Amino acid sequence: MSETQTNRIFQPLQFGRFKLNNRIVMAPMTRNKSPKGVPGTNVAEYYRSRAAGGVGLIITEGTYIGHPAANGYADVPAFHGEQALAGWKNVVEAVHAAGGLIIPQIWHVGAARSPGVEPDPAVPGYGPMQVENDGQLLVKAMTKADIADAINAYAEAAANAEEIGFDGVEIHGAHGYLIDQFLWEGSNQRSDEYGGTLENRSRFALEVVKAVRARVSADFPVVFRFSQWKLGDYNARIANSPEELAQLLKPLADAGVDFFHASTRRLWQPAFEGSNDTLATWTRKLTGKPVIAVGSVGLEKEFRVGHFTREESPDTAIHIDVKQLSDGIEHQLFDMVAVGRALLADPNWTNKLKEGRITDLIGFDVKALDELVV
Ligand SMILES: Cc1cc2nc3c(=O)[nH]c(=O)nc-3n(C[C@H](O)[C@H](O)[C@H](O)COP(=O)(O)O)c2cc1C
């Protein structure tokens, strides 16, 4: 790999008041390694090693905000309370000492929560719509007061991120969790101003962005991650056309999103019929904001997001190569590239790429996932 082929990926980029050394971003990836919601020294070491491996920006695993129903899983980290925030401060310090930059992905799982889950097993899921099973309340339809509480918890988390030294914040608006549950018609048939039209379905996301922006400094980067696909439905759509995408994203950009993170499972796939442009490229064109693209970079084999199904797809052996990434930046198709599974497999992925040590890269194997997220 010649230097001219890779150098655009290794050009610096201004990130609010910070400067990224390169365009490679560690994608947020959930781990269940924070008992009682507190990230310990193992978590600090996990992120430190990726910073030392040269990645330009780390986005942490989803970390749940200070709302009773925000969490959906055992042993994932909280982003509120003294102990959890102290744990995160240690993570930030470890990453900074290794020369990296890091932002938390702030998360509310919404209706994906089931009763019985920590921290308070009695609390059901909270979402746009009520869900019951045999008379048991599984998901509470959020009232206006619940909505206001959740928005406040996002804003509080963002303020805390800045306070403890993070280099920005990513709002998790993707994959069928709370914000996305409001965005998607399939999970939102509310009849009030938070449901119905796309404008109404976007209202919750917009209010979260406004509240976050109001609580952090103007040059503290706010990233918004969104996706068409949902955990339970890979073919779901929140925007059926570029016009709808513009209707959704432009108000978020105007409200203070600095960077969009367009989550796709395969970075190169066209977003809408009639154009080869990807979701990242459309997002960039429609909002004028820098965009992070993501999806199957550095994987020799394409397969379903292992975390969710652990199934290999039988069909393809697609390898997105470094030149394509460099060209994508050159042609302004995207500004940064997030890498998930390849960076799980090989903490030194970025430096090896930079040094052209392609044959030294440790490939990702779905069977090793349990071990890799340790
Ligand atoms: C183990 C695992 C955990 C994940 N957890 C999250 C998460 O917490 N938040 C999120 O937005 N995406 C999550 N994702 C999706 C990744 O951020 C990324 O978009 C996806 O893995 C595609 O990138 P890749 O092909 O480079 O792995 C997860 C993916 C994996 C494999």
pLDDT (0 to 100) of residue 361: 80
Q: Which CATH class is domain 13-296+326-340?
A: alpha beta
Residue nearest to atom 26 of ligand 1 (CA): 340
For residue 302, pLDDT over 50 is answered with no
Contact present, 69 and 126 (Cβ < 8 Å):
yes
Task: Average the pLDDT over 292-304 and give the result.
Answer: 71
Residue-averaged pLDDT of the chain: 91
Distances, alpha carbon 40 to alpha carbons 34, 83, 325, in Å: 7, 10, 34
Task: Average the pLDDT over 203-222 and give the result.
Answer: 98
Tell me the C-alpha distance between 99 and 42, whole Å.
Answer: 18
Beta bridge partners of 137: 132
Q: Which residues are the active-site residues? A: 177
Tell me the C-alpha distance between 211 and 206, whole Å.
Answer: 9
Task: Average the pLDDT over 77-85 and give the result.
Answer: 98
3-class secondary-structure state, position 137: strand
Report the atom number in ligand 1 closest to the C-alpha of 265: 22
Contact present, 295 and 267 (Cβ < 8 Å):
yes
Count the residues in the chain: 374
For residue 305, pLDDT over 50 is answered with no
Per the structure block, which two tokens stand in for 264? Answer: 């796709």
Q: Does any ligand 1 atom lie closer than 6 A to the CB of residue 105?
A: yes
Task: Average the pLDDT over 282-296 and give the result.
Answer: 96
Per the structure block, which two tokens stand in for 187? Answer: 């999970």
Higher pLDDT, 169 or 326: 169
Task: Average the pLDDT over 275-284 and give the result.
Answer: 96
Q: Domain map of the chain by residue range?
A: 13-296+326-340
Task: Average the pLDDT over 91-113 and give the result.
Answer: 98
For residue 142, pLDDT over 60 is answered with yes
Per the structure block, which two tokens stand in for 82? Answer: 């003294």
Beta bridge partners of 15: 18
pLDDT (0 to 100) of residue 312: 43
Residue nearest to atom 11 of ligand 1 (CA): 28
Calculate how far, in angstroms, residue 309's C-alpha sits from the geometric centre of ligand 1. 12
For residue 23, pLDDT over 60 is answered with yes
For residue 373, pLDDT over 60 is answered with no
Residue nearest to atom 21 of ligand 1 (CA): 340
Higher pLDDT, 71 or 367: 71
Max distance between CA atoms of the chain, in angstroms, equals 64
Tell me the C-alpha distance between 194 and 39, whole Å.
Answer: 34
pLDDT (0 to 100) of residue 232: 86
Task: Average the pLDDT over 29-33 and give the result.
Answer: 94
Q: Does any ligand 1 atom lie closer than 6 A to the CB of residue 341?
A: yes
Q: What residue has token string 């084999």?
A: 301
pLDDT band at 95 (very low <50, low <70, confident <90, very high): very high
Mutate to test the pocket of ligand 1, among 305, 344, 346 (most ligand atoms within 8 A of CB): 305
Tell me the C-alpha distance between 261 and 283, whole Å.
Answer: 9
Contact present, 9 and 24 (Cβ < 8 Å):
yes
Higher pLDDT, 261 or 359: 261
Report the atom number in ligand 1 closest to the C-alpha of 297: 26
Write the pLDDT tens digit of every residue in 306-347: 333 334 443 333 445 677 788 899 999 999 999 998 898 899
Calculate how far, in angstroms, residue 175's C-alpha sits from the geometric centre of ligand 1. 10
For residue 244, pLDDT over 70 is answered with yes
Residues with Cβ within 8 Å of 35's Cβ and at least 6 positions away in sequence, in order, are: 75
For residue 100, pLDDT over 70 is answered with yes
Task: State what percent of residues in the chain have pLDDT above 90.
Answer: 78
- Smallest CA-to-CA distance from 21 within 359, 354, 357, 258 is with 354
Q: What residue has token string 């039209």?
A: 197
Amino acid at position 323, single letter: K
Mutate to test the pocket of ligand 1, among 24, 30, 170 (most ligand atoms within 8 A of CB): 30
Q: Does any ligand 1 atom lie closer than 6 A to the CB of residue 138?
A: no
pLDDT (0 to 100) of residue 308: 34
pLDDT band at 287 (very low <50, low <70, confident <90, very high): very high
For residue 103, pLDDT over 90 is answered with yes
